[in-house]
Structure formats: C-alpha cells, structure tokens
Amino acid sequence: MPGRTVPNLFLGTPIMDGRVWMGLAVTAPFGLQLDYGPEWFGRYDSYDISIQTLDIAPTLAYRINETWSIGGGIDVQYADAELISALPDPLNPGRPTPATAGRSRLTGDGWDTGFNIGLLYQPSEQTCVGLHYRSGMGHRLTGSAEVSGLSGPLAAANGRSNARTRLDLPDILSLSLTQAVTPQLTLMGEVQWFGWNALDEIRVQFANGGPDLVRPQGFENIFTVGLAAEYALDARWTLRGGIQYDQSPTTDALRNTSIPDSALVWLGIGATYGVSERLRLDVGYVYGIFEQADIDLTLPFYGGSPLESSVEVRGETNSHVDVLSFSVSDLFGR
C-alpha cells in the first residue's frame, strides 16, 4: 500500500507565572487507507477505502502544587470516509468478472465534538504518573451513494442518492508511568483501554427510500500495553526504543477487507538531537507486525429480487506497517 504523510502540530505556553498552561493540538488520531484495485478477489466487499480524521484540541492545564497537575479541553473533530466496492452481475455467463462488475461508491463527512481530561502526579523528580481520558466520538456523516456500471435488468439501480451514516470512534483511557533510574536512563510504560464496542455496525441510510445498507462490525473493547527506555548519551543526544502490543477490536466472524485488522506488535527506535537549549530535532522509526488472521464472509446482493445472490470472500491477512517520523520542537521562552 502507498505511504501517507500525517502531520501533527502542538503549541503550548505558560501564563499566570507558570501555574497555568494553554495549549493547542492538531492531530489525525484515526485513519485508514487501502487500495486493492478493482480486479482483486475481494472487490465485492471493498477495493478502495479511506477514513481520515482531523482533531483540533484547545486545552488548559493547572499546576495545583509541586505534586499534582490537572488539565483538559475540548476536541473538535472532522471525519471523512469513502468506500468503493464492486457489484456482481449474476447474469454473466459462467461467473461475475471485473469487466462485467458495477461499482458502488459511498462518501460522507461530518464534524463532532468531545472532551478530554488528564491528571498528573509527580511525587519526585524521578517519578511521574499520568491518567488521561478522551471521550468517544459519534460522527454523523452525510454524503452520497452512487451506483454505476450495471447493465441489463440491473441498470435501473444505477444512479446517485444522498446518504447518511454514523461512524462511532472509541473513548480512550490511558495510564502512564515515567521513572528515571539514573541521570541518563529513564524507563516508561503505558496501558491504554479503547471502548471499541461502540462500533457495532455501519448502517447507511438513503434519501431515495432504498433499504438500509448494513455492514456488521461487532468490534470489541481492547487494551494496549507499551514499554520504552530513553538514554541520554550527552547534553545533545538522546536515544530511545520500545515495544508495544495492541489487541485487535475485530472478531474472526466479522473481520472484513475494509478493516482487515488483527493483533499487532510495534517495535520502535528513535533519537533526539538538541541543536540549542530551545531547538530540538527528533527522528523515529516504528515497525508493526500484524498477527495472521482469516477473513470468511458471505455477502448478499439484490435481496428480495429475482436476481438475489451472494458472493463468498475468503482470505488470510498477512501484513506489516512502517512508520517514519520527523519532528521539530522549539521551546519558547528559553
């Protein structure tokens, strides 16, 4: 699959003698892009999928005392989704083929708001514990559904209709620990819980009165666990590395080609170079290894009509992901 650039921006400044901080984060917390091509065997489930999110989060943090700090803010989030799949022609002699297939294209976008809140406990200069909660999002996406390329008795289905659906993204609870072991070595750990059971199905409703299109997902809640270490070589160079294990919210019975997810292990390395007291350059590389998993679907088409039929999609996932990151940090005020 082709690579993509995912930009992020973080700003922060102290006010009120440093007891209060104002911040702004612009991130892309969830995303997916898969392009299998219209001729692959799973085309009747999906062959081009894109989900993009943009989260704008203004925040405030308050230092209660030398040990405790609290912060929080709102999340204003935009989501955009597209799903393209093929439609079989059951009248084609022999079997449906890519050349005789129609096309279904669903698109939609929308905004939603949520919140986040965090608590920081620092009993000493060596130890820091953080607890953070981010609310889920229930995006109401509005867009269109377009069917094209069908012929013969199926040609009546060609056309475009306004459509709407709901995309439910999880709430997230995170617990993290940072412990300085020596002046050079720092250990870090984090456990996260994701409320993915909010995404039970994707149901598309059509303005032209057509029957709902339902894609069952049956997602389950998951945990992720990560461990990392950071070592300061000298005043300018810091090295780091870590490992993280992510459970998958997908189930064997409902795993599909548009979200072919499975359990995942991340291995990462990185380095920071301090150009000056203010300016820092960071580079990191993460390699993700997905667990092998099965896809076994029976897809119904043209229900309730004389051409009612189904297509079986059976396969096995075996994938990995590479993430290369660069960042520049300017510590204003130093």
pLDDT tens, residue by residue, 75-127: 999 999 999 999 998 888 877 888 889 999 999 999 999 999 999 999 999 99
Sorted by where each begins, the domain ranges of the chain are 9-330
Q: What is the mean pLDDT of residues 320-329?
A: 93
pLDDT tens, residue by residue, 284-309: 999 999 999 999 999 999 888 888 88
pLDDT of residue 332: 64
pLDDT tens, residue by residue, 212-259: 999 999 999 999 999 999 999 999 999 999 999 999 999 999 999 999
pLDDT of residue 18: 83
pLDDT tens, residue by residue, 177-208: 999 999 999 999 999 999 999 999 999 999 99
Beta strands in the chain (DSSP E): 9-15, 20-27, 31-35, 48-63, 68-87, 102-121, 127-134, 137-148, 159-169, 172-180, 185-194, 201-206, 213-216, 222-232, 237-246, 264-274, 279-290, 293-301, 309-317, 320-330
Q: Taking the model in full, what pTM does it have?
A: 0.92
pLDDT of residue 86: 95
**Phi-psi bin for 253: left (phi > 0), alpha (psi -120 to 50), beta?**
alpha
The CATH number fitting domain 9-330, selected from 1.20.5.510, 3.40.640.10, 3.30.230.10, 2.40.160.60: 2.40.160.60
Asked if residue 333 has pLDDT above 80, the reply is: no
Using alpha carbons, select from 157, 281, 288 the residue that is nearest to residue 226.
288
Q: Which long-range contacts (CB under 8 A, 24 or more apart) does 199-205 make?
A: 199/167, 199/168, 199/169, 199/170, 199/249, 200/168, 202/165, 202/166, 202/167, 203/165, 203/166, 204/106, 204/145, 204/163, 204/164, 204/165, 205/163, 205/164, 205/165
Asked if residue 334 has pLDDT above 60, the reply is: no
